[in-house]
């Protein structure tokens, strides 16, 4: 599966990307996670030290991936990916190293090219932790044009749900045919109900609900991955997400 994790800032894209990647590894799959945040920190959630996360070299910009391109997928992974302590292979795509270094379009183009390739010789699942917003879907060509499925991350706020609604519109234009709606940071029944109502109102599916978890937040504050023994309610939601993604990718296209 090629999975794009998208949504408004702060809704839990990076956190969910890391938990999803780990859950897929637990199911015996080879997982590549691609951090496209210009301020990358997915590494921390996958057990890398701050230094290792900081020193992960981003993939070259404006690169054509493939046998006839600048680098094959295998070469790219060999040179730029690291195996994290959580068993997920990680690549950084868009780090901004210097102030005034220009826009990140070239990095997006490289990710788009990577996703356009057949990846199954190197990895079973590729998870792209997207930077906030929807620009990557409107950018010419669309970074996620070759994704099989989008995970629309939301928190119980109208702005997050409107972002998801806009994302669906852009995804359709790009020819993406599958998406899964995930409500995160759900504190109680009232928040859950409000989320359900707003999703229905804006025509956004709500397939999975991840509860707000103080344990998960505390692990994040420490800059460490949450243990598999902690917060079973969060892991159960992630398992549901894996099942939904697997089912969606096997299904005919959404209309």
Ligand X SMILES: Nc1ncnc2c1ncn2[C@@H]1O[C@H](COP(=O)(O)OP(=O)(O)O)[C@@H](O)[C@H]1O
- Smallest gap, in angstroms, from Cβ of residue 67 to ligand X? 34
CB 9 → Mg ion: shortest distance, Å? 8
φ/ψ of residue 186, rounded to 5: -90, 115
53 binds ligand X (CB under 6 A): no
Q: Could you tell me the smallest distance in angstroms from the CB atom of residue 65 to ligand X? A: 25
Give yes or no for residue 13 binding ligand X (CB under 6 A): yes
User: In angstroms, rounded to a whole number, what is the distance separating the alpha carbons of residues 34 and 43?
Assistant: 10
Give the pair of three-digit tokens for residue 163.
């972002």
Interaction between residue 14 and ligand X (CB under 6 A) = yes
Q: Cβ of residue 105: shortest distance to Mg ion, in angstroms? A: 19
Would you say 160 and 197 are in contact if contact means Cβ atoms under 8 Å apart?
no
123 binds, among ligand X, Mg ion, none (CB under 5 to 8 A by kind): none
Rounded-to-integer distance, Cα 110 and Cα 24, Å? 24
Compute the Cα dihedral for 26, 30, 36, 40 and give only its sign: positive
Looking at residue 134, the DSSP 8-state letter turns out to be: S
Cα dist. 78→43, 71, 74, 122, 210 in Å? Answer: 17, 10, 6, 10, 34
- Using the Cα atoms of residue 60, residue 92, residue 22 and residue 125 in order, give the sign of their dihedral: negative
- Which positions from 2 through 21 interact with Mg ion, judged by CB under 5 A? 13-14
- Determine, following the binding rule CB under 6 A, whether residue 216 of this chain makes contact with ligand X: yes
Q: Within 34-93, which residues bind Mg ion (CB under 5 A)?
A: none
Residue closer to ligand X (CB basis): 16 or 110: 16
CB of 73 or CB of 150, closer to Mg ion: 150
What does 50 interact with, of Mg ion, ligand X, none (CB < 5 to 8 A by kind)? Answer: none
Residue 184 lies near ligand X (rule: CB under 6 A): yes
User: Least distance to Mg ion from the beta carbon of 182, Å?
Assistant: 14
Which tokens in the block code for residue 170? Answer: 């852009």
Q: At what angle do helices 13-26 and 232-250 cross, to 10 degrees?
A: 80
Tell me how many residues contact ligand X (CB under 6 A). 17
Which residues of the chain form contacts with Mg ion (CB under 5 A)? Answer: 13-14
Which residues of the chain form contacts with ligand X (CB under 6 A)? Answer: 7, 9-15, 132, 184-185, 210, 212-213, 216-217, 220
């Amino acid at each position: 599966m090629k999975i794009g994790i998208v949504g408004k800032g702060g809704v839990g894209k990076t956190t969910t990307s890391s938990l999803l990647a780990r859950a897929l590894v637990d199911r015996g799959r080879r997982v590549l996670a691609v951090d496209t945040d210009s301020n990358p920190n997915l590494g921390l959630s996958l057990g890398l030290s701050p230094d290792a996360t900081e020193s992960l070299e981003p993939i070259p910009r404006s690169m054509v991936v493939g046998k006839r391109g600048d680098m094959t997928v295998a070469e790219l992974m060999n040179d730029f990916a690291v195996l994290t302590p959580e068993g997920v292979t990680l690549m950084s795509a868009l780090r901004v190293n210097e102030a005034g270094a220009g826009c990140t379009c070239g990095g997006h183009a490289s990710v788009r090219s990577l996703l356009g390739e057949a990846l199954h010789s190197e990895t079973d699942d590729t998870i792209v932790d997207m930077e906030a917003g929807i620009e990557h879907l409107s950018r010419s060509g669309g970074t996620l044009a070759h994704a099989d499925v989008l995970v629309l991350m939301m928190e119980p706020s109208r702005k997050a749900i409107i972002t998801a609604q806009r994302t669906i519109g852009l995804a359709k234009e790009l020819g993406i045919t599958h998406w899964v709606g995930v409500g995160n940071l759900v504190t109680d029944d009232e928040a859950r109900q409000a989320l359900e109502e707003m999703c229905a109102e804006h025509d956004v599916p709500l397939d999975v609900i991840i509860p707000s978890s103080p344990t998960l937040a505390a692990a994040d504050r420490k800059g460490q991955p949450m243990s598999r023994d902690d917060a079973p309610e969060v892991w159960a939601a992630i398992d549901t997400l894996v099942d939904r993604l697997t089912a969606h990718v096997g299904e005919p296209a959404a209309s």
